[in-house]
């Protein structure tokens, strides 16, 4: 029984990670047999994982097939509103509760990630780690759970705002400002800095989408 639960969790995590890193993009069809072969897992845990992902609205039905869900403009806007508020709260709580060691880890992340500004894919992965570290530094398990759900849904966006020209360097500067506010234990400044960071990311993404529509 424990082995079955572990296998189910592994199948779910493997599929979710594949969506997150762009192996499977919005609109791609997921087939049980193909997934089982790809990940070396039997079809039963794959089926259970797909059902779980569908329940979480990360997959949707297209006839009899399951495909990776996509977000329309309104869904994306709604998601960013929620993300902005929750991330701001996480930063405020981190300024209150983060240990000195956690703050040093955030500072080290910013320094290390500066080398990735010309690699949007790598910077996007590093960006997720940075934000997750702030979530954990809030020391609020319920907030972390909600932000995990938000960030899972963010994986349904086919592109990253960090791919926009010059956005990587600007985002890194914003990260630096967030960490400085947390270091100073300035709750309001930390919350505002992170909320502004999310707002700018959203505006960048809107411009990307507008450009794609124009080219289309």
What pLDDT digit, counting tens, does each position of 106-155 carry?
Answer: 999 999 999 999 898 889 889 999 999 999 999 999 999 999 999 888 88
Structural domains present in the chain = 2-68 (1.10.10.10), 73-215 (1.20.120.530)
Burial bucket for residue 150 (CB in 10 Å: 0-12, 13-18, 19+):
middle
Q: What element of type H or E holds 172?
A: helix 167-183
pLDDT, the chain, mean:
90
pLDDT for residue 2: 40
Distances (CA, A) of 192 to 86, 141, 199: 12, 22, 10
pLDDT for residue 137: 98
What pLDDT digit, counting tens, does each position of 154-202 carry?
Answer: 888 866 777 777 888 999 999 999 999 999 999 999 999 999 999 999 9
pLDDT for residue 9: 52
Contact 88, 192 (CB under 8 A): yes
Cross-strand partners of 65: 62
Counting every residue, how long is the chain? Answer: 216
Burial bucket for residue 165 (CB in 10 Å: 0-12, 13-18, 19+):
exposed
Give pTM, 2 decimals.
Answer: 0.81
In angstroms and rounded to an integer, the radius of gyration of the C-alpha atoms of the chain is 18
The distance of Cα 21 from the centroid of its chain, to the nearest Å, equals 10
Contact 45, 10 (CB under 8 A): yes
Closest CA to 199 of 118, 106, 119, 85: 85
pLDDT for residue 1: 35
Whole-angstrom distance, CA of residue 167 vs CA of residue 124: 11
């Amino acid at each position: 029984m424990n082995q079955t639960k572990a296998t189910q969790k592994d199948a779910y995590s493997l599929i979710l990670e594949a969506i997150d890193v762009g192996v499977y993009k919005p609109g791609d069809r997921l087939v049980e047999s193909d997934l089982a072969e790809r990940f070396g897992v039997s079809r039963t845990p794959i089926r259970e994982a797909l059902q779980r992902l569908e329940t979480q609205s990360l997959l949707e039905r297209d006839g009899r097939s399951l495909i990776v869900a996509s977000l329309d403009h309104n869904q994306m806007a709604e998601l960013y509103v929620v993300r902005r508020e929750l991330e701001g709260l996480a930063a405020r709580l981190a300024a209150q509760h983060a240990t000195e060691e956690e703050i040093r880890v955030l500072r080290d992340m910013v320094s290390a990630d500066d080398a990735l500004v010309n690699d949007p894919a790598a910077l996007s992965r590093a960006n997720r780690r940075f934000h997750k570290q702030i979530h954990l530094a809030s020391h609020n398990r319920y907030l972390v759970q909600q932000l995990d759900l938000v960030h899972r849904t963010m994986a349904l966006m086919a592109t990253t705002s960090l791919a926009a020209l010059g956005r990587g360097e600007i985002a890194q500067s914003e990260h630096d400002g967030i960490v400085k506010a947390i270091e100073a234990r300035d709750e309001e400044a930390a919350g505002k800095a992170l909320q502004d960071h999310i707002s700018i990311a959203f505006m960048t993404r809107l411009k990307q989408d507008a450009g794609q529509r124009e080219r289309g």
